[in-house]
Amino acid sequence: MADFSLKELEYWNERIEEIAVESGLNFYNQEFEIINYEDMIGYESYVGMPSHYPHWSYGKSYERIKTLHKYNLTGLPYEMVINSNPCIAYLMKDNSLLVQILTIAHVYAHNDFFKNNRLFKKGTKAEYAVETFKNHANRIRDYISDPSIGYTKVEKILNAAHAVKLQTERIIDFCNNKKKKEESKSALAEHKSDFPNLDRYSENKRQDDSEASNQEIKIPEEPQEDILKFITEYGRLLDWEKDILSIVREEARYFIPQIETKIMNEGWASFWHYTILSKLELPQSLHFEFLRKHNEVVRPLKSSINPYFIGFKIIENLYNTQGKDKIFEVRENERDQSFIRRYLTQELCDEMNLFEYITTGNDYMISEVSDEEGWKKVRDTLCNTVGVGSIPVIKVTEWSPKENTLFLEHEFDGRELELSYAYETLKHLVDLWKGKVVLSTHLEEKKKNIACDEMKRISLYT
């Protein structure tokens, strides 16, 4: 251990936990694992999970994180918390006592957020998180060691599934009453009946392929956002392939609430570590280190968003102007987009010097600043680019069984797709669909189609 013992940690933890409970934080049981630097990078690259299925992308992630640390491009991690019950957090052994104290306080707030924010409540099952990932890992390892399948085939399916894993149903907009009714129908709530058409479809197909294709039923009835689910239901896949898709899909969905609440969650945790440590009556030397570390965590970053900074500022402001009940209400109900839309004020925009930029070649150009006329634009741009707003919306619009062509549509909102990435992603989709895939999108103000055929040939046409 560095400059602390387990006993010391337990001592500080007890006091922190006490203050956290008094303050109204309501969390799952907490477990801390103290790990070394290498293990931390390991956990970071495997999305925190103690077990996870193998794929080279996690090896890449490991090398990447390690390189970043090696060249000091990112600091040493303080912690990693996973949304599970009991909540598991990893603390890094090499950090100082003060960093551990600050981190422990920070972790309790994340834990509280996981337990109480409605996206997590509805979208994830913390009790089963660790087990689920372990189960997935076992299933995929079984396919790899199955002589009739093997690593190469599994890898190919995983590569392809990873490419579209975030092309999934977005979290229901909780503020929108019209959609609220559909909530129960959403895939989030129907874990058990995730693939209702699976059996029916495969039976039909086996019995009478031609009859099924002659039926003039439009599939899907409505544009379908969940690409992996659609392919699992209607694609020509073997059972093990379907299973891998469902695994990748389920894991991606587990992370959607985290993607959707990054700013709030970090802001919330930063607000509470700050509040709790201020009450801890730390010895003076630790107190100074605390202020210094805290300021490092919540500092602004030019040309990108530091979620700790923006989240902390908004929550602090809400607390100061509207009180404690308000912030608890906000942490329960909002996600980043609604949080920013409602609570990022002009004063805050101005105080944080937020600006909007666009890229021109290798340069960034400031297109809007947070003054009287500009701040709303800045705020709206931020709203539209946080959470799943950073992922293009692509829907399955039609499947024509005769040619087995899959039609996709990009819901254009002014932001164009990166073409080279779209091409390669379509090739992955062809691997999954085993047929032609056509994506319609907008390029240079014109509607365009990108087609990828079974030979992986790409064509672009109007």
Partner 1 sequence: MAIFRDCSNIGKDRSAEDRRRHRELVEESIKKNLGNIIAEQSIIGKSKDKKIKIPIKGIKEFQFIYGKSKPGVGAGDGNEKRGDKFQGEAQEGKGKGGAGNQEGEEVYETEITIEEVIKYLFDDMNLPDIDKKQLSRLEEKSYRKLGYQHKGIPPRLAKKRSVIEKIKRRQASKRSEDGENTTYDKQEGQERFPFIQEDLRYYRIKEDNKRDYNAVVLCIMDVSGSMDQTKKYLARSFYFLLYQFLRLKYANVDVVFIAHTTTAKEVNEREFFHRGESGGTYISSGYDKALEIIADRYSPSNWNIYAFHCSDGDNWSEDNKRAVESAKKLCEVCNLFGYGEIVPGYYNIGSTIKNEFQTNIKSNNFAAININKKEDVLPALKKLLDKASDRDEKAIMD
Two tokens at 332? 């329960």
Find the part of the chain contacting partner 1 (CB under 8 A) among 59-67, 124-132, 178-186, 205-213. 59-67
Find the part of the chain contacting partner 1 (CB under 8 A) among 7-15, 185-193, 279-287, 318-326. 7-15
The verdict on 36 binding partner 1 (CB under 8 A) reads yes
Binding mask 76-105 toward partner 1 (x if CB under 8 A, else -) reads -----------------x----------x-
Please calculate the CA angle 397-400-404 and round it to the nearest 5 degrees. 115
Contact 115, 127 (CB under 8 A): no
Nearest to 376, CA basis, from 419, 351, 340: 340
* Distance between start and end Cα atoms, the chain: 64
Contact 374, 357 (CB under 8 A): no
Q: Which of 13, 132, 224, 261 binds partner 1 (CB under 8 A)?
A: 13
Binding mask 292-311 toward partner 1 (x if CB under 8 A, else -) reads --------xxxxxxx--xx-
What three-state secondary structure class fits 394? strand
The footprint of partner 1 on residues 377-416 (CB under 8 A) is 378, 381-382, 385, 390-392, 394, 410, 415-416
Binding mask 150-179 toward partner 1 (x if CB under 8 A, else -) reads -----x------xxxxxx------------
Contact 273, 113 (CB under 8 A): no
Binding mask 175-214 toward partner 1 (x if CB under 8 A, else -) reads ----------------------------------------
Find the part of the chain contacting partner 1 (CB under 8 A) among 39-47, 203-211, 218-226, 256-264. 39-47
Comparison of 102 and 310: residue with beta carbon closer to partner 1: 310
- CA gap 257, 124 in Å, rounded: 8
Q: Residue 109: what are its φ and ψ, rounded to 5°?
A: -70, -40
Q: Which of 1, 21, 76, 460 binds partner 1 (CB under 8 A)?
A: 1
The footprint of partner 1 on residues 421-450 (CB under 8 A) is 421-422, 424-425, 428
The verdict on 320 binding partner 1 (CB under 8 A) reads no
Go through 66-105 and write b for each residue having 16 or more CB atoms within 10 A of its CB, e for each that does not. beebeeeeeeebbbbbbbbbebbbbbbbebebbbbbbbbb
One-letter identity of residue 63: E
Nearest to 399, CA basis, from 284, 195, 236, 283: 236
The footprint of partner 1 on residues 203-262 (CB under 8 A) is none
The footprint of partner 1 on residues 349-378 (CB under 8 A) is 352-369, 374, 378
